[in-house]
Amino acid sequence: MTRRRITFPHRAGNASRQAHADLPPGTYEREIGREGFFGPATHMHHAHPPTGWSHFEGPLRPRAFNLAALDARDPSPWHAVPVLTNAQVKIRFWRLESAMPALARNADGDELLFVHAGDGELHCDYGHLRYRAGDYLLLPRGTMWRLEPAAPSRFLLIEATGGAYGLPDKGIVGAHAIFDAAMLDVPALDEAFRAQQGETPWRVEIKRAGAVSVARFPYNPLDAVGWHGDLSPVRLNIDAIRPLMSPRYHVPPSAHATFVAERFVVCSFVPRPFESDPGALKVPFFHSNDDYDEVIFYHAGDFFSRDNIAPGMLTFHPGGFTHGPHPKALQNAFTPKNAGTDEVAVMIDARDPLEVAPAVQPVEWAGYVDSWKAVPE
């Protein structure tokens, strides 16, 4: 039997009529929403900041990890440091400083690599691509690939376990909004690709159900001479993303969706002008996003809604508690100090609870949960 949500817009007490704008003086807005930012929602107005807890106990607490402090270096992506996992998505952090000595093949799901640092070459079944910081490299399930870094490289790996990546439905703004699919680059069967072919023996490390098997070839299996079809790795640089903006309304993170998989979404935050309407919020609104776990990896810039967060750090906000801007950012909720944001970050919203891997607990910032305590003057 199909289910229809119970919806009946209602307004009580001293409340604004428009979400994220024209808040009653001296109040703090909190969104209670369902289905990420796509479902029904109510906007509460509080006399105190909704994150003004004096103490927080238990596993639901907000957490932060300094992935830049991880020193694990390995030529295989299958030895990358696990960060957060559930049945649909596996997030890992990988440092690569020299050419991969073997090919990798993920039989568990599509692999999305976000290049946090470095540059170099990607060789795969389909040909050759260069990569640089800020690139997304989307490798469909089953693709054989290897990287040759020209400079030490660091990657956030986001595996769509048992699934595949696609592009979000952009609705009324049209298919060319945010980024045009024509901005997706595909590998080329170019001279660099042909030059790496040959009769030298190669190993292929194949990951399936979390276990790695090895197939050995007496030649380089990246020996394609041609291909045709609509399945291919793609590259998209963060610079190609043109964010949706409104001068009179703070758009939710869902408006910045970049890739969509089964039961999670990957969003990109890039520099943009602040809202210009004097009554519109200029910082992320407090929200109780109870259906999703929220993960943000901070790539570059000044992270205007967070204190003491540096590039290479990752925050984890499990679904079920209210979160929002830090107190210092809240002071600029309506009068920002700059003309626009200066941040680049990758957000993963997961529909099912994520588990923190033991490997990243040594780089956790234990005081993150207390960073909301200060009350703005």
- What are the residue numbers of the active site? 250
Q: Are 312 and 245 in contact (CB under 8 A)?
A: no
Known binding-site residue numbers for homogentisate: 323
User: Strand 264-269 relative to strand 286-289: parallel, antiparallel, unpaired?
Assistant: unpaired
User: Strand 109-124 relative to strand 127-131: parallel, antiparallel, unpaired?
Assistant: antiparallel
Spatial separation of the C-alpha atoms in residues 360 and 376, rounded to whole Å: 32
DSSP class of residue 371 equals T
Say which amino acid occupies 209.
A
Spatial separation of the C-alpha atoms in residues 222 and 20, rounded to whole Å: 52
DSSP class of residue 193 equals H
Known binding-site residue numbers for Fe cation: 287, 293, 323
- 158 Cβ contact partners less than 8 Å away, ≥ 6 residues apart: 89, 90, 91, 111, 112, 113, 114, 266, 348
Q: What totals of helices (H) and strands (E) does the chain contain, helices first?
A: 2, 20
Query: What phi, psi does 195 have (nearest 5°)?
Result: -70, -25
Known binding-site residue numbers: 287, 293, 323
Q: Are 27 and 330 in contact (CB under 8 A)?
A: no
